[in-house]
Amino acid sequence: MNTITATPAPPSSTAPKTMDLNPGFMARRNVWDWLFALILLAGTVFAWVQYDSAMDVYEKGILLLTTPSLIAMGWFWRPLQKLMLTVGGLSLLAIWLYHGPDGVAHLDRAEAVFGLKYFLSSQSAILWMGVLCFIATAFYWVALFAKGEQNAFGRIASTMVWVAVTLALVGTMVRWYESHLMGPDIGHIPVSNLYEVFVMFIWMTALFYLYYEDQYATRALGGFVMLVVSAAVGFLLWYTVAREGQEIQPLIPALQSWWMKLHVPANFIGYGTFAIAAMVAFAYLIKQQATETKWYKLAPLWLLGVALCFEPLAFRQSQAGGSSYWIVYAGISALIVGGILALRKPIAERLPSFEILDNVMYKSIAVGFAFFTIATVLGALWAADAWGGYWSWDPKETWALIVWLNYAAWLHMRLMKGLRGTVSAWWALVGLAVTTFAFLGVNMFLSGLHSYGEL
C-alpha cells in the first residue's frame, strides 16, 4: 500500500513575523455578490407571485430555503453566479416564447417557434447538452497531449462543459414548465424517471468536476471524468430512442410526494461525486502503471477495460434496434480504453501528482457520502410516509445500504488507518461498479417497491 505523508517545510528566516488574518466571509463580498443576491431574491418573489397556485405549502417552504442556499453557493464559488443568472434568463426566455399572440402559453409552439424548436425547448436543450459533452470529451483528450497545461484546446473543452451544464439546467427548468402546460395534475419537478435523473446525473457530475478543475488549476482529469459523463449521455440517447423516455408522463401515486424533491437530488449528488472519484482512481492507476511493461502485471487494468467495454451489452436485448446500438457502443468503448492503456506513459506524464489525485478522490467521496447519507435518511422518511415503514429490505433499499457501507468503510480506512494509493484507488473503482448496480442493475434484474423505475 502506498502511503502519502506530508513533509513539514523548513523554517525560513525570511518568513513574516506576524500572521496575516484572512478577512471574514461577509467581508469578502463585493458589489456583484450583493447584486446577485438581490436578483435571486427578486426571482423568488416573482416565482411566488407567478406560480403561487401551482405550489403547495411544502413546495413554498422548499423555495424559501432554496434561495439562501443558492446565494451561499454563488458566494462560495463565484462562477455559479453567472451559471444561475444565465439559466434563469434563458428559462424565462423559453417560457416567454411559449406564449402566443393571445398571451396564452401553448405547448405546440415547441415545434413552431424557431428558438424553441432548435434551442430552448426541453428536448432541444438536452440534445445540445449531449452533443457538447461528446465534443468536450474529445477536446479534453486533445488538450492532454497538446503543449502547455492551459492550452487553447483545454479552454475550449471547459467552455463547452459550462455551456452543456447550462443547457442541461435550462432543459430541466423548461421541462418543468412544459409538464404544467400539459395539465395542472401532470406538472412536476423533472426528477421522476430515468430520463430526467440521467440528465441530472450528467450536469451534476460535470459541474462538480468543473469545481475541482478550478480549485486545482488542472484540466488533465477532464478527459477521464467526461468519459463517464459521455457514457451517461450515450445511455440517455438510447433511452430516448428505445423507450421514448423524453415523453412527459403524469406522476404515479408513489412519486406524488414532496419528499421526492429532496431525496432524488441528494442521491444524485452522491452518484455524481462517486463517479468522479472512480474516474480519478482510474487515472491514478494509469499513472502508477505508466512504465510497467510486463503484461501480467497489467492484467487487472486490462480486465477492467474488458468489463467497461462489455458492460453495455447487458442492454442488447432491448427493443428499437438496441442490440446493434450497444454493440457499436461497446466497440467504441473498447477503442477508448485500449487507447488509454496503450498510451498510458505519455498520459501519465501529463496527469497531476499522486497527492492531487488522491486528494480529489477523497474529497469527491467525502462529499458524495455526506449527501448519500442525507438521501438515505430522506428515503426512509419518505418510505414511512408512503408505505408505513422506514425500511422494508426492498432490493433498492438493500443495495443503497451496500453502497453506503462501502463508502463508509473507505472513509473509515482512510481517516483511521491512513489508507492511500493503490488499494484506495481500486476500492473507489469497485465502488462505482457497486453504485452502478444499485442505480441501474436493480432496475434491470430485480423487482420490488421501486419497480416503477425498471428499464
- What is the per-residue pLDDT across 332-365, written as a single tens digit (0 to 9) for each? 888 888 898 889 999 999 999 999 999 999 999 9
d(CA 73, CA 79): 10
Spatial CA neighbour of 192 closest among 108, 248, 117:
248
| pLDDT at res. 324 | 80
Under a CB-based contact definition with an 8 Å cutoff, are residues 40 and 85 in contact? no
Average pLDDT in the chain? 87
Residue 230 lies in a domain: yes
pTM: 0.90
| pLDDT at res. 330 | 81
d(CA 43, CA 60): 13
Residue 288 lies in a domain: yes
Spatial CA neighbour of 163 closest among 204, 192, 133, 119:
133
Residue 153 lies in a domain: yes
d(CA 227, CA 205): 11
Residue 453 lies in a domain: no
d(CA 266, CA 264): 5
**How many domains does the structure of the chain reveal?**
1
Under a CB-based contact definition with an 8 Å cutoff, are residues 110 and 80 in contact? no
Residue 33 lies in a domain: no
Residue range(s) defining the domain that contains residue 300: 51-448
Cβ atoms within 10 Å of 152's Cβ, excluding its own:
12
Residue 142 lies in a domain: yes
d(CA 353, CA 349): 9
pLDDT in tens, 393-426: 888 889 999 999 999 999 999 999 999 989 999 9
| pLDDT at res. 9 | 45
- Retrieve residue 194's grid coordinates: 430515468
Residue 24 lies in a domain: no
- Retrieve residue 108's grid coordinates: 405546440
Residue 44 lies in a domain: no
Under a CB-based contact definition with an 8 Å cutoff, are residues 139 and 207 in contact? no
Q: Cα 380 vs. chain centroid, distance in angstroms?
A: 23
pLDDT tens for the chain, residues 1 to 455: 444 444 444 444 444 444 445 667 788 889 999 999 999 999 999 999 988 887 878 888 888 999 999 999 999 999 999 999 999 999 999 999 999 999 899 999 999 999 999 999 999 999 999 999 999 999 999 999 998 777 899 999 999 999 999 999 999 999 999 999 998 788 888 998 899 999 999 999 999 999 999 999 999 999 999 999 999 999 999 889 888 889 998 888 878 888 888 999 999 999 999 999 999 999 999 999 887 777 666 777 777 766 666 666 666 554 444 568 778 888 888 888 889 888 999 999 999 999 999 999 999 999 999 999 999 999 999 888 877 888 888 888 899 999 999 999 999 999 999 999 899 999 999 999 899 888 888 877 766 656 555 56
